[in-house]
Amino acid sequence: MATTADFRNGMTFEMEGELWKILEFLHVKPGKGGAFVRTKLRRLSDGAVIEHTFRAGERMEEVRIVARSMQYLYESNGLYYFMDEETYEQHPFSTELLEEVIPYLKENMTVKVLWYEERPLWVEVPQFVELQVEKTEPGVRGDTATGGSKPAVLETGTTVQVPLFVNVGDVLKVDTTTGEYITRV
């Protein structure tokens, strides 16, 4: 059992039948009344982020989450196959587990998979990925870096807004947390 005194960023625990990860926390000792801990938590089942306040000394069950480095291999019939880089075992994951990262998954990409009791909970892709432009309107002479934007379809099928000078075949750096274009590579 852990208490609020044991809180640290990244700690995972069980509350109300769900698994939660601490993103941020702050111990507060007001001049009047009891101390408390204000937290920002991520629910591991769906990635929802909430703010929650705990009374000082409140207890919860800490759980052990294991992170494994895995390589994305391919997709077949709605299942995405990954290989554990230590054991070389292949694991199929459903679309529901990967919903947020599918737009950035590229074959042979290494990702981090979080496991709890031999059950995959969450897949983390790198914050920045490099993807090739498959389709976009051609740039027009005189377009500048600050002149506006247009949609571009990347090799994974996702669409991002890019500057007018980006062309088909260009490789772009994309932020996976915001889904935004960063730069041309």
Q: Where are the domains of the chain?
A: 2-62, 66-124, 128-184
Regions of the chain short of the pLDDT cut 50: none
Instruction: Check for a shared fold between 2-62 and 66-124.
Output: no
CATH classification of 2-62 is 2.30.30.90, yes or no?
Answer: no
What is the pLDDT at residue 119? 86
Model confidence, pTM: 0.71
What is the pLDDT at residue 1? 82
What is the pLDDT at residue 65? 85
Strands (E), 29-148: 36-43, 49-55, 59-62, 66-76, 79-84, 90-94, 110-116, 119-124, 128-136
CATH classification of 128-184 is 2.60.120.560, yes or no?
Answer: no
What is the pLDDT at residue 161? 93
What is the pLDDT at residue 140? 64
Question: Which CATH number describes the domain made up of 66-124?
Answer: 2.40.50.140
> What does the alpha-carbon distance between residue 144 and residue 49 come to, in Å, rounded to a whole number?
38
What is the pLDDT at residue 118? 86
